Amino acid sequence: MSGPRSTSSHRGGRKTAAPELPPIQVFGQPELVEHLRSGGAHHTHCVSIGNPYAFFARNRADSTMPRELRTHFARVFRLSFYDVEERRHLRARQFPKRIPKRADVRRAIRFFRKTRAVASGYTIHCWQGVSRSTAIALGYLYMMTGSEEEAGSALQRIRPQAGPHQRIVEWFDAELGCNLSAINARIRDERMARWKEELDLTEDMLLEELPSVD
């Protein structure tokens, strides 16, 4: 198995020593682009997740795959769908009406199985690095470890802000015969609890700034 790459080198260029990486990296797209441009270490294989490309409309950055990905990774696997659970949640201007499907998870699993022997690991991104990418990461970590608990704990270490897409996780369960949904429920509950703590802290700080009333 080949080791992680230093992003200072391009495909076919000279490689330099890279620090030890977790088996999965998760980024938001702008974050990953900056990471690559600054020479950050990355794996040989990438899973790129973005919004669908509209051929007859103006596309935003979240609908196009950054060119840096093609020059820094040996293989890039692209998935395109919006970060929603149901089609009815799409806004009118979101076109084409593409949401995650079970077939997308099957394709992601197939990519993993075909490349696992040669990949140093997987660098995964969506736009924010919170929902779609972490759902794929959770499934990949399970396939690496064989344990739902280990996969969930590893994901939280790798991406503390993870809030995996529920439907994608459910399809990993259906395809792999596991129960990552239970782990995902815990991850999302813990994330919500952290948000509440942060909100309470912010409210307390704001109250301290209010002038006293005599």
Residue reference for tokens 């979101």: 94
C-beta of residue 37 within 8 angstroms of C-beta of residue 57 = no
What's the per-residue H, E or C state across 10-25? CCCCCCCCCCCCCCEE
State how far the Cα of 134 lies from the Cα of 138, in Å rounded to an integer: 6
pLDDT of residue 52: 81
State how far the Cα of 168 lies from the Cα of 200, in Å rounded to an integer: 31
If we measure between CA atoms, which residue out of 147, 154, 160 comes closest to residue 188?
160
pLDDT of residue 196: 73
Is the pTM above the cut of 0.85? no
State how far the Cα of 86 lies from the Cα of 99, in Å rounded to an integer: 7
The first and second tokens of residue 148, run together, are 């739902």
Q: What pLDDT tens digit does each residue of the chain (214 aa) get?
A: 445 654 434 444 333 334 589 999 999 999 999 999 999 999 999 999 998 866 544 556 666 788 999 999 999 999 999 887 665 555 556 555 678 999 999 999 999 999 999 999 999 999 999 999 999 999 999 999 999 999 999 999 999 999 999 999 999 999 999 999 999 999 988 888 877 777 765 555 545 544 444 3
C-beta of residue 154 within 8 angstroms of C-beta of residue 187 = no
pLDDT of residue 90: 53
Domains of the chain, each with CATH number or no CATH: 5-207 (3.90.190.10)
